[in-house]
């Protein structure tokens, strides 16, 4: 017995041949790999941009901090300059205090000074009163024996109701190196 198969249906034909299917699958895998590479690169670019933005913010913060540091250094220099100036001024004040303290020892108790002035050239002008001419002369001679002053002169002496008004001048000796 022979068997006969008759198929009235059209022959089964695939859309693609085996080679075409292999080629299509390879192309799909290739496109998928390209998409994955694109996504990976895009993710890396976004991450790099995020890091770059963070670094730029930090640089801006550092720039502001650097400016504050420069301002503080400038302020520190100003303070140091003022400290040096105040030190010099204090030294001068101490010198004048020592000068005036020593000067007070040479003023007799009966002499009252109403004015004591010193100009930039070191010229000293003293005005005051004393109960007698003897007290004025004692004051004059005590100052002539005082080392820091020289060229002491009596500019004027005039009698008052109960005392004598006087004016003396002199020059402060300059220290020689």
Query: pLDDT of 103-117, one tens digit each?
Result: 888 888 889 888 888
Q: How confident is the model at residue 175, as a pLDDT? A: 56
pLDDT of residue 177 exceeding 50, the answer is no
Proportion of the chain above pLDDT 90, given as a percent: 39
C-alpha to C-alpha distance for 132 and 117, rounded to whole angstroms? 23
pLDDT in tens, 62-104: 999 999 999 999 999 999 999 998 888 888 777 777 777 888 8
Model-level pTM? 0.49
Residue 107 · residue 139 · CB < 8 Å? yes
Instruction: Assign domain 108-172 one CATH number from 1.20.58, 1.10.260, 3.40.220, 3.30.1360.
Output: 3.30.1360
Residues in the chain: 177
Q: How confident is the model at residue 30, as a pLDDT? A: 94
Burial of 130 (0-12, 13-18, 19+ CB in 10 A): buried
57 versus 2: which is more confidently predicted?
57
């Amino acid at each position: 017995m022979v068997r006969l198969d008759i198929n009235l249906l059209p022959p089964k034909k695939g859309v693609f041949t085996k080679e075409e299917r292999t080629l299509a699958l390879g192309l799909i895998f290739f496109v998928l790999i390209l998409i994955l590479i694109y996504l990976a690169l895009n993710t890396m670019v976004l991450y790099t941009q995020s890091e770059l933005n963070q670094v730029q913010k930090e640089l801006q913060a550092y720039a502001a901090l650097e400016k504050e540091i420069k301002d503080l250094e400038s302020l520190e220099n100003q303070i140091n300059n003022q400290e040096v100036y105040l030190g010099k001024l204090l030294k001068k004040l101490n010198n004048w205090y020592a000068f005036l303290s020593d000067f007070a020892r040479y003023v007799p108790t009966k002499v009252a000074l109403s004015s004591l002035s010193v100009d930039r050239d070191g010229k000293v002008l003293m005005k005051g009163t004393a109960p007698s001419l003897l007290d004025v002369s004692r004051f004059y001679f005590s100052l002539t024996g005082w080392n820091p002053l020289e060229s002491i002169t009596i500019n004027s002496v005039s009698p008052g109701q109960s005392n004598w008004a006087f004016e003396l001048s002199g020059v402060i000796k300059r220290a020689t190196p």
